[in-house]
Structure formats: C-alpha cells, structure tokens
C-alpha cells in the first residue's frame, strides 16, 4: 500500500512514527463571499469525508464562476477495477433487490453488554456478602474491609477475562462458554476471601455467596449467548456490503464473510465482464460505479469496500472522488503486508485491515447514547405535548376540510426515504402534481395553519418519527423528495449536499437555531444551510445536541422574518 496515502487516510504505520496532519487551506481575502463559502464547505466536508486523501483539483477551474464550486456534475467515469482496456457495458447492471432492512446492531454489543452486566454483578455480590458477613453495606465499611469484598467478588470477572470469554463474537459464542471462567473465578475468590476477609464470618459469607452467584451469572451468560446465536443467524449483526473490484482480495473477503456471518456481500462492482465470473459465491458481479450510484438499494448498504490493486493510486483516488457525493461509508482495503497498520480510521474487518476513506468510522457508543436520549427526551416531550396535540388536531378538523396529519416522503439517514408526519396547515388541492415550496403569504395556508407554522407547532407529530427511529431530536432538517431550488436539484447546486445525510435528520438542528429555517429559494440560502448542517455533522455530540435543544424555542419564537 502506498504509505503517503495511508497516512492521509488517517492511518499510522508501525515503521512510520510521524503522522500526516494536513492543515486547512487559508481563506484568501481576495475571494468573493460565494467563493469563501465554497471553500468553507469543502473544508467542513474534508473533516469527515475523504479523510485527507487530497484529490487533485484544478484550482483555476474550481474558482472560475461563483456557482461552479457547488456543481456536482460528474466527470467521465473512472476506468473499472484493474482493467486499463475496458469497454463500458451497453446496459446498466441489474443489482439485486435490497429492500428496507430490519434491526441492525453492532456485533460488539453482546460482549459489551456482558462486560457492563458483570461489573454490576461484582458490586452486587460484594454488597450482599458484606451485609451477610458483617451486617453493613460497602459504603458503611472502611476502605480496606470494602476492598476485601470487592476483590473477592471481582475474581469472577478476572476468571472470565483470563479464559478470554470477552473475545467471543456472535458467531463464536457458546452457551457454556462462561462456565470455565466463572469456576476459576470462584476458586480464586474463595482463596482471596480466606486471605484478606475481615474475619471468619465474612470469609464464610463470601465462600457461600460466590458459587451461587457464579451459577446465576452462568445462566445469564448462556441466555445472552443463545440470543446472540439466534440473532446472528437472522443477520441482525450483519452489514450489507458492496465490493468494488472482483479481485483475489475480494474472494478472500467473501470467503471469510461466509464463515463469520458478519457481512452480507450483496454485489461486486466490476465491469470486466470478459475476465471475471458472473458471480463470486452468491454475489453477482458486474456494473460500474455509475450503476452503483443509480441503484435504488444503495441507501440500505452499510459499507462499500474498494479492493482494487494497491498500486493503482490514481485510479483509487478517482474512485473515491466519484463516490464522494454519496453518504455511505467507503473503505479502502489495505495490503496484507501492512500488519502494523493502525489508527483512528483503520479497523480490522474479518481479519483484514481497512481504512475509512469516506464517511466516518462507526461510533456505536455515540449512536446508542443518541438513540437513548431520543427515546427518553422524545418520550417525555410526546407525553407533555399530548393534550396540546389533541387540541390542535380538533382545531384542524374544525378549521378546514382534509386530513389532520400531512404525510410527505423525505430523505433521511443514508438517503433513505421515509414518511414524515406534520399537522396539515394547507388546503388540499388535488390538481397540484409537483412539489412547490411554501412562499410568503402563500394562499394555500389556512388561518390556523399560519399560526401553527409561525410557532412551529405543526412539527410536533414528528415526535412520532423520532420514536420510530426515522428521525432524531437534533440533526439536519429532512428535505422533501424532489425538492428543488431555482429549478435545480439540490445536489446539483451543492456537491457536498448528500453528506448531511450521514446522520439521522432532526426535529431541530444547528442550521435552524442559526437562522436557516423555512424554504430555500436561492442557491446562496441552500449553500448556507448545507454549511451549517456540515458543521453539525462534523462536531456532533451529546452536549451539542443539548445546546441546540435549549436554543430551539427562543430561536423559533424570536424569529419573525423566516417564511414557514
């Protein structure tokens, strides 16, 4: 693998201690405001896209026109994987049908749950033994006495660690897997109890409590293992993956995926039809990157892996540049010789090192925290606004004819289309066939609808979308499918537009609390909104979400200018 590209991809080589830390290009004072906005958007996109693989750009052409930097018109498609003499297929490749997937969780979740559960069990066992042995809880004991109970109970967890119970995956878990470690922990715990327990009664309490607790803990481990095995067989832990390049490395990845079940290879993109088989295992082979980007199943793909030969640096860069407009994660397969490759954006995937070169590495902890906060805060808001929502529904029914709720298809995470709910604020007109953004003094808006829009109360039903998992409380606002600005598709105005779909859309967002609300009628308005959305995607955190939620109500009520 070319070391410079690895360093720019966020990786560290074992034999290369230095790290590449590109600094953002300076903002030239001679540029116009539009050009500065373009450069800022590009810098923001670089913080979570392309990972520093500095794609060569012709800066003279890039700044020719104020709107040119935002055009997403592709250049000629890159040559196919490892094939200098290629002939483009005459018909588009038929990808397999890939419908909306069910629940998908991290394969690390069962083991992480076991770790947390075992720590809680250690504290509970120590507390029970202390109450039984000395008649007082851990907090009432001296530091030395409490440590004796905790260390003896902690031997159970140490036994699990020594027997590598926590190294299991959903594919390798066994119901009896924790028995050996817990047995070793009981023996070690009884020895520790006899050595450092405060007295004989405390040692006896520990010697009695530890075996019983170990048996209960073994049952819980077995139950989680049985669930994990069943969920693994149903594909709950499997990622949908598309491979670019029908190479030997791709064959190895597919073979490992079939053994582990951690990935589902849905297709292999490679238009060297005369030199590659029609299928690699069950995955069809064919098409090119243009076919992939036009595939309606792409929003349901979790990861795209480029497996072309590592010597084709120019071709790899061209492929990454071509894949830049999509929000899906793109990984670059690293050479098997680079066993020392490590870094924030490098991970081991079925025993193979891959570098994330577009999109962010998966942060399951952040996703779990965000989902938990959505359910807790969103559920509380739904209960708190239940009576006002009922009153609004009755008022809408009395105010004008039509349904209470308005349903509309919008783009969500990874460009997936979902149905958003809103209180109806306009009169229904069957003759309107195309999507028209709301305008100031729009005659379609009802009297009640004008109040609901002004106060943003029409958005309250989207709490249901939050509870269903299609939206989050905080994130870029979802735009309607087919929405246009200045009679142009949004992605044709701002090339980085799709990157706002790297996170779930939100009920409110960074753009909204900074004044970018309502319809976007001009390219400059769209560029500003995308810039603010990219700022959120690049810096998303729980604290930023809470800050945005606290600023939402004052921002909405204090803004009397925005068209809503």
**Verdict on whether the full-model pTM lies above 0.85:** no
Q: At 294, which CATH number?
A: 3.40.50.720
**In sequence order, what DSSP letters do the residues of 165-198 get, joined into one string?**
GGG--TTT--TTTTHHHHHHHHHHHHHHHHHH-S
Distances in Å between the Cα of 489 and the Cα atoms of 259, 349, 372, 531, 541 are 43, 37, 35, 17, 30
Same domain, 272 and 302: yes
Same domain, 261 and 321: yes
Residue, of 355 and 464, whose pLDDT is higher: 464
According to the model, what pLDDT value does residue 278 have? 80
Average of per-residue pLDDT across 335-339 = 49
Domain range for residue 190? 109-233
Most confident of 6-10, 67-71, 324-328: 324-328
Pick from 98-112, 296-310, 528-542: least confident = 98-112
pLDDT above 70 as % of the chain: 73
Would strands 472-474 and 484-485 be described as parallel, antiparallel, or unpaired?
A: unpaired
pLDDT tens-place string over residues 217-242: 999 999 999 998 888 888 788 888 99
Asked, for residue 564, whether it belongs to a domain, the answer is: no
Looking at the 3D structure of the chain, how many domains does it have? 3
Instruction: Out of 185, 203, 233, pick the residue that ends a domain.
Output: 233
Contacts of 66 (CB under 8 A, 6+ apart): 32, 34, 35
Question: Hey, is 141 helix, strand or coil?
Answer: coil
Same domain, 295 and 250: yes
Same domain, 92 and 113: no
Same domain, 473 and 380: yes
Same domain, 243 and 329: yes
Q: Shortest CA distance to 34 belongs to which of 60, 64, 9?
A: 64
Average of per-residue pLDDT across 247-259 = 85
According to the model, what pLDDT value does residue 8 have? 45
Same domain, 128 and 58: no
According to the model, what pLDDT value does residue 19 have? 36
Asked, for residue 481, whether it belongs to a domain, the answer is: yes
pLDDT over 70 (residue 531)? yes
Measure the CA–CA gap between 235 and 233, rounded to whole angstroms: 5
Asked, for residue 563, whether it belongs to a domain, the answer is: no
Same domain, 292 and 326: yes
Distances in Å between the Cα of 141 and the Cα atoms of 125, 134, 175 are 15, 9, 37
According to the model, what pLDDT value does residue 11 have? 45
pLDDT tens-place string over residues 98-148: 766 656 677 888 888 899 999 999 999 999 999 999 899 999 999 989 999
pLDDT over 70 (residue 342)? no
Average of per-residue pLDDT across 492-498 = 72
pLDDT tens-place string over residues 347-383: 777 667 788 887 766 666 777 888 889 999 999 999 9
Instruction: Out of 362, 391, 417, pick the residue that ends a domain.
Output: 362
Given a contact cutoff of 8 angstroms between Cβ atoms, the answer to whether 245 and 269 are in contact is yes
Pick from 47-61, 467-481, 529-543: least confident = 47-61
pLDDT over 80 (residue 276)? no
pLDDT bracket for residue 335 (50, 70, 90): low
Given a contact cutoff of 8 angstroms between Cβ atoms, the answer to whether 472 and 500 are in contact is no
Asked, for residue 229, whether it belongs to a domain, the answer is: yes
Residue, of 43 and 349, whose pLDDT is higher: 349
Tokens at 349, concatenated: 């995937």
Same domain, 467 and 516: yes
According to the model, what pLDDT value does residue 39 have? 65
Same domain, 358 and 371: no
pLDDT bracket for residue 436 (50, 70, 90): low
- Judged on CB neighbours under 10 Å (0-12, 13-18, 19+), 348 is exposed
- H helix or E strand, kind and range, residue 244: strand 239-244
Tokens at 402, concatenated: 């039509």
Most confident of 12-21, 187-196, 413-422: 187-196
Same domain, 285 and 350: yes
Instruction: Out of 233, 258, 277, pick the residue that ends a domain.
Output: 233
Asked, for residue 113, whether it belongs to a domain, the answer is: yes
Asked, for residue 419, whether it belongs to a domain, the answer is: yes
Tokens 């509309």 belong to which residue? 408
Same domain, 41 and 135: no
pLDDT tens-place string over residues 161-191: 999 999 888 888 889 989 999 999 999 999 9
């Amino acid at each position: 693998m070319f070391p410079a590209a690895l360093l720019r991809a966020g990786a560290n080589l074992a034999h290369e201690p230095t790290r590449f830390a590109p600094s953002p290009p300076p903002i030239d004072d001679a540029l116009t405001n539009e050009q500065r906005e373009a450069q800022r958007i590009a810098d923001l996109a670089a913080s979570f896209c392309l990972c520093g693989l500095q794609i060569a750009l012709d800066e003279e052409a890039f700044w020719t026109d104020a709107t040119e930097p935002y055009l997403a018109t592709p250049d000629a498609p890159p040559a196919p994987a490892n094939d200098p003499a290629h002939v483009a297929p005459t018909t588009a490749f038929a990808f397999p049908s890939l419908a909306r997937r069910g629940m998908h969780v991290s394969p690390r979740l069962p083991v992480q749950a076991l770790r947390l559960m075992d720590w809680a069990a250690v504290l509970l066992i120590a507390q029970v033994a202390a109450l039984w042995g000395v008649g007082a809880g851990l907090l009432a004991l001296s530091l030395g006495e409490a440590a004796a109970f905790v260390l003896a109970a902690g031997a159970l967890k140490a036994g699990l660690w020594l027997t590598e119970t926590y190294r299991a995956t959903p594919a390798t878990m066994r119901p009896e897997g924790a028995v050996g470690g817990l047995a070793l922990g009981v023996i070690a715990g009884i020895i520790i109890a006899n050595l450092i327990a405060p007295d004989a009664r405390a040692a006896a309490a520990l010697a009695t409590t530890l075996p019983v607790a170990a048996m209960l803990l073994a049952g819980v481990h077995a139950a989680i293992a049985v669930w994990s095995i069943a969920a693994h067989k149903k594909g709950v832990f499997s990622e949908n993956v598309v491979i670019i390049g029908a190479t030997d490395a791709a064959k190895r990845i597919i073979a490992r995926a079939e053994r582990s079940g951690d990935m589902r290879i849905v297709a292999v993109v490679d238009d060297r039809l005369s030199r590659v088989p029609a299928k690699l295992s069950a995955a069809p082979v064919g098409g090119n990157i243009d076919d992939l980007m036009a595939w309606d199943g792409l929003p349901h793909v979790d990861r795209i892996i480029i497996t072309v030969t590592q010597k084709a640096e120019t071709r790899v860069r061209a492929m990454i540049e071509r894949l830049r407009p999509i929000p899906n994660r793109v990984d670059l397969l690293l050479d098997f010789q680079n066993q020392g490759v490590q870094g924030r954006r490098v991970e081991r995937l079925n025993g193979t090192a891959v570098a994330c070169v577009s999109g962010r590495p998966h942060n399951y902890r952040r996703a779990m925290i965000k989902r938990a906060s959505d359910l807790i805060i969103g559920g509380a808001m739904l209960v708190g606004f239940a009576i006002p929502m009922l009153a609004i529904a009755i008022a809408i029914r009395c105010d004008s004819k039509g349904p209470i709720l308005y349903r509309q298809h919008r783009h969500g995470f990874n460009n997936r289309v979902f149905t958003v709910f809103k209180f109806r604020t306009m009169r229904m007109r069957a003759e309107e066939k195309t999507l028209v953004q709301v305008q100031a003094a729009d005659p379609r808006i009802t009297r009640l609808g004008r109040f609901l829009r002004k106060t943003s109360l029409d958005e309250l039903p989207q709490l249901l979308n939050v509870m269903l998992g299609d939206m989050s409380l905080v994130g870029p606002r979802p735009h309607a499918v087919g929405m246009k600005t200045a009679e142009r598709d949004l992605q044709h105005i701002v090339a980085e537009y799709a990157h706002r779909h790297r996170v779930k859309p939100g009920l409110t967002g960074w753009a909204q609390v900074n004044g970018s609300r309502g319809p976007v009628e001009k390219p400059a308005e769209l560029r500003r909104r995308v810039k603010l959305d990219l700022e959120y995607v690049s810096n998303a955190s729980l604290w930023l979400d809470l800050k945005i939620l606290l600023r939402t109500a004052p921002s909405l009520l204090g803004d009397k200018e925005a068209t809503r």
